[in-house]
């Protein structure tokens, strides 16, 4: 691959770790002009470094005395090189030479490049590579938390949380599952085509496609398929993970109802609700972020849906009239359930942040619950593995608002995921994103 692609990967990583952007938009903006092969290479490096950043830094720590003193470009250049050495089939000489060229390239622009240091460090790594083979064994690795955290590049606080809940074996499986490529899952637009017919269409286009195990409208595609490959099926599908589709099944919307989607963008669940309603009724899709609202409207138009009314507003400020038959609150959260798709999540939050999310989620739930009709159904959902954002939010809500109770969902396909009316999915158990969901109604 050309030096420019490696340089672009390094620049993308710098932007992500500086908090300027997220992986998907950063890659889309950078890779627009790349051919298919270079784009795949860029994505492999960026997502690979994000998945294994802490392990790569641990290796570098044996060859650098003052890693923290390096500039962001240099440290991420070294990370990309180490990822290629340890996880990709790239010749060692090529990795070292290209990393030096990358260092020279940005060094000419800001004079902060250190090609000699990069060359020396990587040559030492190559010579001593056999000292550091997975599973890595840390010098002070005296607990399962330290071991799993190092080898899967997860924060120790999160691993400790999981060890208490799941035990060592399942914690390791969950952390390892988070570092695997997620399935490419789409949802059939059943207003235009059946799932079987869409699968046949994709197969005729040479795209490997199979029905999902649980979601009745879902299709799993080959990992190598790109959005461009699906251009011939535009309007016939939406990209949506199977767990996300099941949340809409928990809501179980019916034709002719008036429904609120309180945090709607980018619109996967919103458009799924419209499909289940046969595009009959009204869905008020609320989104406070103007940029995300544009994405929501684009997805609605692509699928040809007319029952959705987008509203650029804050769900906290919607009033208190009981006007909706059903409400979906897919609340903002830590996104620990979608680490497979967004590995940068691992480095963005601390344990204390879970309680802050909980407070905000509880406030949102109390606010939107006032908009539910007496016979209505409210579904609270988060793409989080953590009980602080799931079970604990529901428990606190029910303690302070005795008017509500949990509904035992009557949808057979959800039985495997339900316990006490609370729905849970996990990457390592179900090969889908980690979601929590609970359906609520007013007491009789």
Cα dihedral sign, 237-239-243-246: negative
- Give the whole-angstrom CA distance, residue 261 versus residue 315: 9
The residues, ordered by sequence, that sit 6+ positions from 140 with a Cβ below 8 Å of its Cβ are: 146
List the catalytic residue out of 249, 263, 383, 441: 383
Q: Do the Cβ atoms of 413 and 214 come closer than 8 Å? A: yes
Q: Do the Cβ atoms of 315 and 364 come closer than 8 Å? A: yes
Q: Do the Cβ atoms of 122 and 95 come closer than 8 Å? A: yes
**Known active-site residue 383:** yes
Q: Do the Cβ atoms of 8 and 43 come closer than 8 Å? A: no
Pairing of strands 324-330, 372-382: parallel
Annotated catalytic sites, by residue?
383
């Amino acid at each position: 691959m050309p030096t420019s692609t490696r340089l672009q990967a390094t620049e993308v990583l710098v932007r992500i770790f500086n908090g300027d952007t997220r992986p998907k938009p950063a890659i889309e903006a950078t890779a627009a002009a790349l051919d298919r092969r270079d784009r795949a290479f860029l994505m492999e490096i960026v997502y690979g470094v994000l998945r294994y950043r802490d392990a790569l830094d641990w290796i570098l720590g044996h060859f650098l005395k003052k890693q923290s003193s390096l500039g962001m470009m240099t440290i991420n250049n070294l990370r990309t090189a180490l990822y290629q050495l340890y996880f990709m089939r790239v010749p060692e000489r090529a990795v070292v030479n290209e990393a030096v060229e990358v260092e020279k390239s940005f060094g000419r622009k800001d004079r902060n490049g250190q090609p000699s240091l990069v060359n020396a460090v990587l040559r030492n790594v190559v010579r001593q590579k056999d000292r550091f083979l997975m599973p890595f064994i840390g010098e002070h690795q005296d607990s399962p938390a330290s071991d799993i955290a190092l080898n899967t590049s997860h924060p120790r606080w999160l691993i400790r949380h999981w060890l208490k809940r799941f035990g060592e074996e399942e914690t390791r499986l969950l952390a390892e599952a988070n570092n695997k490529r997620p399935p490419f899952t789409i949802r059939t637009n059943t207003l235009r085509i059946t799932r079987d017919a869409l699968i046949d269409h994709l197969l005729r286009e040479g795209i490997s496609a199979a029905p999902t195990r649980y979601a009745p409208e879902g299709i799993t595609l080959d990992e190598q398929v790109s959005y461009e490959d699906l251009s011939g099926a535009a309007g016939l599908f939406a990209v949506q993970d199977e767990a996300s589709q099941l949340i809409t099944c928990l809501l179980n919307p019916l034709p002719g109802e008036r429904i609120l989607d309180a945090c709607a963008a980018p619109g996967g669940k919103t458009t799924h609700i419209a499909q289940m309603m046969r595009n009959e009724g009204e869905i008020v899709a609320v989104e406070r972020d103007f940029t995300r609202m544009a994405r929501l409207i684009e997805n609605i138009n692509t699928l040809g849906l007319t029952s959705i009314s987008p509203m650029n507003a804050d769900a906290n400020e919607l009033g208190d009239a009981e006007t909706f038959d059903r409400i979906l609150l897919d609340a903002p959260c830590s996104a620990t359930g979608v680490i497979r798709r967004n590995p940068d999540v691992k480095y963005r939050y601390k344990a204390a942040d879970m309680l802050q999310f909980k407070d905000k989620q509880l406030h949102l739930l109390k606010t939107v619950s006032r908009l539910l009709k007496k016979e209505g159904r409210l579904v609270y959902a988060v793409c989080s593995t953590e009980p602080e954002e799931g079970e604990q939010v529901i428990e606190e809500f029910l303690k302070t608002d005795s008017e509500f109770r949990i509904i035992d969902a009557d949808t057979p396909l959800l039985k495997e995921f339900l316990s006490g009316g609370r729905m849970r999915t996990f990457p390592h158990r179900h090969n889908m994103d980690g979601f929590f969901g609970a359906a609520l109604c007013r007491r009789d």
